[in-house]
Structure 1
Amino acid sequence: MTAPAYRARALADVGRLAEAEKEVRAGLIESPADPELLSLLAGLLRLQGRRADALDAASAAVAADPHLPGVHIERAECLMLDDGAADDPRTAEALREAEEAVRLDPAHAPAHRVLARVLALRKDFGGARAAVERALELHPHSVTDLLTLGEIERHAGNRGAARKAVTAALAQDPGHPDGRWLIALLDAERLRVRSSLRGLRDLAADHPAKLNSAALAWPVRGLLGGLRRGLAAGVPLTAVLAAAALLWPSWQVAARAAALTVVIVMIGFGLRVLIPAGLLPWRCLTLLPSRQRRAVRAGWVAAVATVALLLGYAGTGHWLALTTGFAGLGALLMAGRAEHR
């Protein structure tokens, strides 16, 4: 390792990425085609969110020495930054880079790890699992590889296996922020709201640069997403049954029963999340960017109005309540798009 690379890695390890970048660029003045420095520069730019510049540096590193597995690993990482779809050309290119890294050094665990991550992005969870298990065969106690396995199992829907892998990683490094984050996510997905919020709150306190406190608003935002999906199915279903009642009046009972069922499910789901969450997520909404904050608030107004209108239809059977409910649903869906724009 060259002196500039050593100094840059030391600075990067303590989070001083901009200073590390300066060290690398100083080294590149004297050795502009050094593949190690170019690959390190790509990694530093990637961590700073400068995606296009990172990919350019990674491509230069591959051109400088295509026989080093590390340069292909870094280029694969840069190509995965956009989290593209499985059929995205960049994802396919990342797969080729990862496979080349494995071919160049089959005993290099990071090469198998990056291959696993690309395969998981392509929804090939079986191949991803096999790749990261190969990395763990090479380094059985690797915290990074155990966490990668946990991520793969989580995305594959195997939450029990994901928790087992993450727990094994945290047994070796109890304070690892990525492991603690994954445990909080797994708790959230199982609606263990108190446990998830407690974990996120502690993580935000210990690593404020890694986790913004706005993440603690997830119960409010996640519940709103659930209401959006539930109402997007429930309102049209009720309308179909109500339309059928125009031909067969006895179906109005089914339509009103469907509306009442949707209301009960939505309210029950909301109470299941909001009661254990308490006031903290609502307070953390103020930490969101103003555009997202306005969209969340508008979404909640629309969701509550839509549920109330469905309840009104269930109680009266009047078409006005149901048709107005569609307007509320439309506003809810528009707020959802604005929130994620």
Structure 2
Amino acid sequence: MTAASRARALAGVGRLSDAEAEVRAGLARLPTDPELLALLAGLLRLQGRRAEALAAADAAVAAAPHLSGTHIERAECLLMIPSGTEESSETSPASTASPASGPSTAESDETRTAEALREAREAVRLDPAHPPAYRVLARVLSSRREFDQAREAARRALALDPHSVIDLLTLGEIERHAGRRGAARAAVGAALAEDPGNPDGRWLIALLDAERLRVRSSLRGLRELAADHPDKLDVTALTWPVRGLLGGFRRGLGVGVPLVVLLAGCALLWPSWELAARAAAATVTLVMIGFGLRVLVPAGLLPWRCLALLPVRTRRAVRAGWVAAGATVALLLGYGVTALALLPVLALVTLAVLLVTGRADRM
């Protein structure tokens, strides 16, 4: 058995560190072996060691530019590198980017995905009958939001291997990101027909249920997945109804509160506007409450219990966010009932707190 085959066997049972050690031992004997270099890049990528993974992929391409597999691995490594950042200087969720950082980040992201696209196309050119080449091309195109071309690449992979679970799931991901949830569900369903227990397929179904606010079905799927594959799913994913709903409140109240403040200000100058301001406050309140009940009632207590499993900083941010959201809704309701002009101004303050907590809780 070769070092590469031993490493793949170890990686297959989740022993990534042991697999990496096996590959490095093989590279000590054959330092320019392209198979071992590409395998090392993949193992480092799976461990989240982005810069090291790309360096190994660069070495693999340099050692064997004629092999499709080396370009596939380099494209995969480029896809997972954070936009505009190095591994050692990733921005924390709570950090604040300067206004000038936006264009450079977008430019870096474009450069990175363009390079990944060149690698993926080179992989296809070198081996046009190799499904993984089309698969990585599809993923790169999807990351660039070129969904029609991504869909076509995924279908080319499936034409070569119609029963490939990973290619069906890739197509499902593309359709989900393109907003075609029905097509995504069909692709994932076909994958699960081939492999009913596939954790990635079950995860995608739970995501699709969540996006359609099928809360009970999504949580049931995630709970079963966590029980069957505890190594594949962080149970904090079960907090999504609580945290996702809080994100919805930030968006809804971020629009509703300024509108009410504007109308309330107009009402101070022109009293005839008061009815419109109070009606807007009542409408925003009812929409937020209705949306909350639509998610929280079917979710039950499970998401709240799982909050205790979150990191302390995140847990505090979620709790503070809920207090701020509740206070904001209560203040809007109070204004709708009493027309007291101070209440919308206070709602702006609590809204600011709600928005700030969102920076500490990135799902």
Report if TM-score (shorter chain) is over 0.5: yes
Give 5+ residue unaligned stretches, structure 1: none
The counterpart of 1:136, out of the listed 128, 147, 158, is 158
In the other structure, the counterpart of 1:305 is 327
Q: Who is 1:124 aligned against? A: 146
Q: Which amino acid counterpart does residue 37 of structure 2 have in structure 1?
A: L
| Alignment-derived partner of residue 10 in structure 2 | 11
Cα separation, 1, equivalents of 2:360 and 2:226: 26
Residue aligned with 1:339, SS: coil
TM, length-normalised to structure 1: 0.98
When structure 1 is superposed on structure 2, of 90-99 and 150-159 the one drifting more is 90-99
Match of 2:205 among 174, 183, 200: 183
> In the alignment, what sits opposite 2:248?
226
The CA RMSD measured in Å over matched residues stands at 1.2
Read off the aligned partner of 1:26 and give its amino acid letter: A
8 Å CA contact 1:77–1:94 kept in 2: the answer is yes
Partner residue in 2 for 1:48? 47
Report the residue type matching 1:168 in the other structure. A
Identity of aligned residues (%): 73
Select the residue among 205, 224, 230 that pairs with 1:202. Answer: 224
Q: Indicate the SS of the match to 2:230.
A: coil
Unaligned 5+ residue runs, structure 2? 84-104
Which consecutive aligned stretches of 4+ in structure 1 deviate over 6 angstroms post-superposition?
A: none
- Alpha-carbon distance in 1 for matches of 2:71, 2:173: 22
1:39 aligns with 2:61: no
Match of 1:57 in 2: 56
Distance, in Å, in 2 between the alignment partners of 1:174 and 1:51 is 32
Counterpart residue type for residue 102 of structure 1? V
Structure 2 residue 158 is matched with structure 1 residue 159: no
Deviation, 1:91, is 1.4
Contact 1:86 1:123 in 2 (8 A): no
Taking the aligned partners of 1:246 and 1:285, their CA distance within structure 2 comes to 43
Q: How many residues align?
A: 340
Equivalent residue runs for 1:76-155 within 5 Å: 76-82=75-81, 84=83, 87=107, 88=109, 89-155=111-177
Contact kept? 1:55, 1:78, Cα under 8 Å: yes
TM-score by length of 2: 0.92
- In structure 2, distance between residues paired with 1:195 and 1:312: 36
Separation in structure 1 between the aligned mates of residue 267 and residue 250 of structure 2, nearest angstrom: 26
Structure with more contact order per residue of length (Cα contacts < 8 Å, sep ≥ 6):
2
